[in-house]
Structure 1
């Protein structure tokens, strides 16, 4: 690329930013929670808006693809110029549930721009990925230097494997030489990074039953087995006193790259003063290279609805993060068996709604990665570094299996302070511009490399 071509792309992205921010607000305002029990209409509305946005980029072919048992994916493509490679762009339009509205400083689905940051559920994860792709593609005014394929998923957050099954049945639809996954981010705003490892995932719901029905805690408490107390004892058996996972078969790992400083991690995680970080090893060892187990939900009466009763049944949703190379099915089995062994008083334990996703470890060389390094260096003013992620993106492992020769590149507009999956999620707007600029420069550079 000539300096003039580079500057033209940078200016095109910058000029398109005001429109893109307004479009991101429209998308964030849609409560597209694809979890069971939430309404379908907002998810389908987000799909329709995503389709509209992709049509605005100049891609000649855009359509919704039905995904069995899930919400539609939005697919778009443009053929590659003669001799040019093809790039697949991925993101997702569904979001996590907002949680307790009282914990949000602004309503989760009323996007609010404040001091250069856009607040709202999904502003970062992962509707920023959708808009990063849209911004980058618009910069080419319909004349793309590489073949383009785009697939935007509609149920990534619920940890299902529905799109993965679709890709396995229709690999040619998404076949590409390089794959950009815009569902991660940088350690901090302005600190460019490429994510080279992801943890896998195993999740399930565990139910404990001890009585036919709840009974009076005064009349029966002390001898009647409490299902909630039983479940608490079982869950507490998952970690030792230091906070390390103590399930047999789930050892601690070591991350060989640069680890974030503990002080930085504490700040971004919002750890309160005087509260220690659980577990052993560096922060990177714990969140990028080791197993972790989190109780993400409990089905028991709330404090407000509490009655003086011994509970007959209690449920918990348990999520296991699995380091790259680990088997999520085996890890989930190990945790389930550990919980069953820890159940006191002969309580009845059942497990349902199991889902799995495999981790990812990438190569750091290749033509596409070299083009991305150059693009991010230009957009951010410094070279990107390799980092890991404790999160999981189920589709990535499927893409690795289906297309072993493709280079998979993970970067995006989120950062560790974006509060994804938490109250007060936010996106730094300038980071969106830098990432979209980097993506546009990557597509141009990769096409001419």
Structure 2
């Protein structure tokens, strides 16, 4: 079966690539209100692609959110139902000068296809399209296609969409194509993702600015106090020092030092922070960064004590923890470590739940078998992701009986969200083959 499907995948790939390139040319940047029309055009293009494959489809939205596409195509009577998820919106391309080719004109260089969305996540759509195109009108399973339009801006209306279309989206297996593989030639199934808490804090020590010479040495300035608060958030090794946060073990996966340094962009000579294995620190332990500061610039700074200073905290929470617990523990820590009677206020910007997937059962057995065949005998690893995809928890909550498989087309050098985002074309072929094999195996159970 796999040899026949492999040949059929290769026969549809040129058309799939052409369809992907057409999608990439649509500037569906959901974060840009001026390109809302492009997001709508992208949804219409996706709908047309699945209509051409014999799906019954519709463009939907909820609570004023971006357009999503839901499409259905029946397989044999009594076959399981598989929901295939991807998203058609993309990140802003930012400065075009940082790109080696126009960001919305797909360009092949070497073994990659470069463009915004070429990987994240229009290649996910293309992978789903390729798998169903291989089978034509002889799908081995019932297929529900769900292509979201606002993942890159936080999927705010996804819960409403899932509630409104719950019966239409109900499935036995859900395949979420928005993650990646461990390396070129090494597939992976994502089984855990950290959650997110973003919080803005303000430390105030004065009602107004005063002369630093007249009052320095007696009155604390807000930058001093904020620096103390920030310094308290990590211990001397660089571990997050907030009590009551969850941490757990990670898979026994080696992350070579040279690869870590190449992929992280670490400056020469920098030491790693924290304790435990590299993948524990990246996947299953909390992390905390300061991603923004509001304070006077050095240029033009006057000799005054600054009355108030602000910082944005971005904290990743480990699988097994909750955003509610993390917010409470963070606030407790901040209040306990605010020095000299300064006033600290906080505002939660947003949160996202961590995810831990039970990667056992027939659907995962079928996926591992399919991936191993597609990658010519290389078995997939169970991979964690340090970043957050909160909508996965929404699917787990909405469909607790379904097996949720998190897959994807990305690799360590995809550069999703950055300049020169690129899709590794040979890996993409394996992704399409793996999903094709997966549908076949699920239909044969």
The alignment's TM-score, normalised by the length of structure 1, stands at 0.86
User: Deviation digits for residues 127-151 of structure 1, max 9, x if unmatched?
Assistant: 2211111111111223311010111
Can you list the C-alpha shifts for 1:199-240, whole angstroms capped at 9, x where unaligned? 222233445566778899999999997666655554343222
Deviation at 1:369, TM superposition (A): 1.9
The CA RMSD measured in Å over matched residues stands at 3.1
Distance, in Å, in 2 between the alignment partners of 1:277 and 1:243 is 8
Give matches, 1:44-443, under 5 Å: 44-59=40-55, 61-99=56-94, 103-207=98-202, 231-298=226-293, 307-308=300-301, 315-344=310-339, 346-364=342-360, 366-382=361-377, 383-443=379-439
Question: Which secondary structure does the structure 2 equivalent of 1:397 belong to?
Answer: helix
Q: How many angstroms apart in 2 are the aligned matches of 1:202 and 1:390? A: 13
Q: Please say if residues 260 and 284 of structure 1, whose CA atoms lie closer than 8 Å, have aligned partners that are also in contact.
A: yes
1:444 Cα offset (Å) = 1.4
Larger mean CA deviation between 157-166 and 381-390 belongs to 157-166
- Give the distance between the partners of 2:220 and 2:383, measured in 1 at CA: 47
Structure 2 distance, partners of 1:33, 1:208, is 35
Could you tell me whether the CA contact under 8 Å between 1:217 and 1:308 is conserved in 2? no
Residue aligned with 1:190, SS: coil
Q: SS of the residue aligned with 1:377?
A: helix
Once residues 104 and 295 of structure 2 are traced to their aligned partners in structure 1, the CA distance between those partners, rounded to angstroms, is 27
Unaligned runs of 5+ in 2: none
Distance 1:259 1:173 in 2: 42
CA change 1:165–1:299 in 2 (3 A) is farther
Change (3 A) 1:192 1:71: same
Matched pairs, number: 441
Give distance in 2, aligned partners of 1:226 and 1:446.
64
Structure 1's unaligned 5+ residue stretches are: none
CA–CA distance in 2 between the matches of 1:437 and 1:202?
Answer: 37
How far, CA to CA, are the matches of 2:244 and 2:34 in structure 1?
36
Preserved CA contact (<8 Å) 1:261 1:283 = no
Structure 1 position 441, deviation (Å): 1.4
Q: Which moved more, 1:49-58 or 1:31-40?
A: 31-40
Contact 1:199 1:391 in 2 (8 A): yes
Shift of 1:18: 2.9
SS in 2 for 1:247: coil
Superposition deviation, residue 327 in structure 1: 0.9
SS, match of residue 237 in structure 2: coil
Deviation, 1:260, is 2.4
Q: TM-score, normalised by structure 2?
A: 0.87
Task: Give the Cα separation in 1 of the matches to 2:440 and 2:394.
Answer: 27
